[in-house]
Structure 1
Amino acid sequence: MNFPLIMLILLVITGGISLLDRFALRRHRAPESQGPWWVEYPKSFFPVILIVFFLRSFLVEPFKIPSGSMIPTLLVGDFILVNKYTYGIRLPVANVKIMPVNEPRRGEVMVFRYPENPSMDYIKRIIGVPGDTVTYRDKQLTINNIPVKMASDGEYTYIESGLNYVYSRRFHESMGEQSHSILINPEVPDMHIAGVRPFPHRENCSYNDRGFTCKVPEGNYFTMGDNRDSSSDSRYWGFVPEQNIVGKAFMIWWNFSDLTRIGLSIK
């Protein structure tokens, strides 16, 4: 469902009826009398729809986490808020940037339109920015020939769909000023080569059973999930074009299963 498009259509309809009533229909009614329901209802809803449309399009948009690809940073059922303007102000629906603000940085958690199906929203961590060379081999991430620092933080257990327990190792990973937690399952292969699909700029990447190396092209970003061995990300479907960016995830505002997560910042 293209919610922004639906909101835009409702905004145009309710706004159009409000303007029509103000400059035409009202003249044919007695003073202080109400118009028909098909005029009064749109007029009542128009301010609400306008405010919601403005907030979601230019300031903050809510999303729900549907999968475990970002565990332990984000859990299934987390409701998050996404800053819509930090990466530039964009036209609603068309998603065309009209005013640059900040560029996405390595280590930030970003929401974007899935390149293979732009009607779907994905959330991953930015690993490579334009010009970077990203290598992931033997479960060690390297950016521009510099290994990313990792510090062990014990074991981490979670339940997958189907009530399956998953045992992983937890690490703190540092990218410049950014520090976050990741999960690595030592029993899972480094790469599932069969899962790599054709994608734009595929020639920038080389794969083997131990991992891959990718050169990030201009205007694109390389993303990965924090749950490294349970994430469909740029390793398999390619780079994220700049025009697919939605915004930066910055806070968890609700989780029905764990109220202690309310208000947590996303690092």
Structure 2
Amino acid sequence: MTDDPTETAVKDAPEKKPTGPPKSIFREYLESFAVTLVMAIFGMTFILQAVTVPTGSMQNTILVGDYLLVNKFIFNPGGNPLPFLPMREIERGDIIVFKYPGNSVNPRSDRERGLVKYQINYVKRVIGLPGETVEFRNNQVFVNGNLLPETRVIGDANDDISALETREFEPANPDAKWTVFYSEDTMRPVMEGRSITRSGYNFGVQGKPMVVPPNSFFVMGDSRDRSDDGRGWGFVPRELVIGRAMFVYWSCDRGASNGSMIGCITHPRLSRIGKFVK
């Protein structure tokens, strides 16, 4: 039996080599970097964002020196058109990151502190939803005339960056989903049964209940006496909300690190890393 000449010709035919010059190592690294960069930009634009916390307005829920990952896609106005994605409306109690809307009542205050609206990110807790009436009275929050369940704790610190030293003021509220902190000085009148007159606030305080405008939110910091929030400058429009704070991906002791990046790396707070924010 003779071999098929066509089969022999196919076997003997040389393999085709790829045309064009071979990729250099530099080009391969460059392409890998470009793909990684595009994915990072996409993620930072639509999915996640990293923020740091420079002030104590949310202590001890969030500490100065915490680095947070922010979920940017969870909030979807008007419902969830993609049911396979965990999207929902903004709810009371959510800790949100948003662009500072500016102090429309006292713009001079922003200028004196070097604040420019829309240029700095704030982290606060949502207290009032669109259409609700909010009032802050005697260190308690009322929404639509009803007391908002919160556990109040006395918390003080010797400086603006240290965690608050806390002690119990009243039994924990079984209906409360979060804890808020007040200095002993501001809680003393409450303990003595006296009414508190708050100055320096313009919105939602005693004698000034405010209705939250449509498509806006009233926010406050958990460290109530250290927070520059909606009581002073008003409401957060929906379009300024970046997302919900998820968890602490890094944390460092700002006092020990002297504010430097290297010091932040060498003085981590390991117990904070991976902690979910709620």
**Does the TM-score normalized on the shorter chain lie above 0.5?**
yes
Partners of 2:152 and 2:180 within 8 A in 1: no
Query: SS where residue 58 of structure 1 aligns?
Result: helix
CA distance in 2, matches of 1:104, 1:158: 32
Which residue of structure 1 lines up, in the alignment, with residue 270 of structure 2?
259
Which residue of structure 1 lines up, in the alignment, with residue 135 of structure 2?
135
Equivalent position to 1:226, from 218, 222, 226: 222
- Please state if 1:106 is matched with 2:104: no
Partners of 1:171 and 1:182 within 8 A in 2: no
Equivalent position to 1:187, from 185, 188, 192: 185
Query: SS where residue 209 of structure 2 aligns?
Result: strand
TM-superposed deviation, 1:125 = 0.2
Which residue of structure 1 lines up, in the alignment, with residue 52 of structure 2?
64
Gaps of 5+ in 2: 1-18, 103-116, 187-195, 254-268
Q: CA RMSD in A?
A: 3.5
Query: SS where residue 178 of structure 2 aligns?
Result: strand
CA distance in 1, matches of 2:243, 2:163: 33
Partners of 1:113 and 1:121 within 8 A in 2: yes
Assess, with a 3 A threshold, how the Cα gap between structure 1 residues 171 and 239 changes in structure 2: closer, same or farther: farther
Assess, with a 3 A threshold, how the Cα gap between structure 1 residues 58 and 33 changes in structure 2: closer, same or farther: closer
Gaps of 5+ in 1: 1-28, 90-97, 197-204
CA distance in 1, matches of 2:164, 2:207: 26
CA distance in 2, matches of 1:61, 1:162: 23
One-letter amino acid matched to 1:111: V
CA distance in 2, matches of 1:166, 1:182: 13
Which residue of structure 2 lines up, in the alignment, with residue 238 of structure 1?
234
Partners of 2:56 and 2:161 within 8 A in 1: no
More strand by share: 1
Which residue of structure 2 lines up, in the alignment, with residue 217 of structure 1?
213
Assess, with a 3 A threshold, how the Cα gap between structure 1 residues 165 and 68 changes in structure 2: closer, same or farther: closer
Q: Percent identical across equivalent pairs? A: 30
TM-superposed deviation, 1:132 = 0.7
TM-superposed deviation, 1:192 = 3.1
TM-score (norm 1): 0.69
Assess, with a 3 A threshold, how the Cα gap between structure 1 residues 168 and 41 changes in structure 2: closer, same or farther: same
CA distance in 1, matches of 2:225, 2:199: 10
Partners of 1:148 and 1:173 within 8 A in 2: no
- Please state if 1:32 is matched with 2:28: no
Equivalent position to 1:85, from 37, 51, 73: 73
CA distance in 2, matches of 1:217, 1:60: 28
Which residue of structure 2 lines up, in the alignment, with residue 18 of structure 1?
none
Assess, with a 3 A threshold, how the Cα gap between structure 1 residues 122 and 187 changes in structure 2: closer, same or farther: same
Q: Deviations over 1:99-141 (max 9, x none)?
A: 7831110011000111121121110000001011111011110
Partners of 2:59 and 2:164 within 8 A in 1: no
CA distance in 2, matches of 1:88, 1:41: 38
TM-score (norm 2): 0.66
Assess, with a 3 A threshold, how the Cα gap between structure 1 residues 175 and 250 changes in structure 2: closer, same or farther: farther
TM-superposed deviation, 1:220 = 0.4
CA distance in 1, matches of 2:274, 2:163: 29
Query: SS where residue 56 of structure 1 aligns?
Result: helix
Assess, with a 3 A threshold, how the Cα gap between structure 1 residues 67 and 169 changes in structure 2: closer, same or farther: farther
Size of the alignment, in residue pairs? 217
TM-superposed deviation, 1:88 = 2.7
Which residue of structure 2 lines up, in the alignment, with residue 124 of structure 1?
124
One-letter amino acid matched to 1:110: I
Equivalent position to 2:38, from 50, 57, 62: 50
Partners of 1:106 and 1:175 within 8 A in 2: no
Partners of 1:62 and 1:80 within 8 A in 2: yes
CA distance in 1, matches of 2:38, 2:171: 42
CA distance in 1, matches of 2:61, 2:81: 30
Answer with 1 or 2: which has the greater Rg. 2
TM-superposed deviation, 1:170 = 6.3
TM-superposed deviation, 1:56 = 1.4
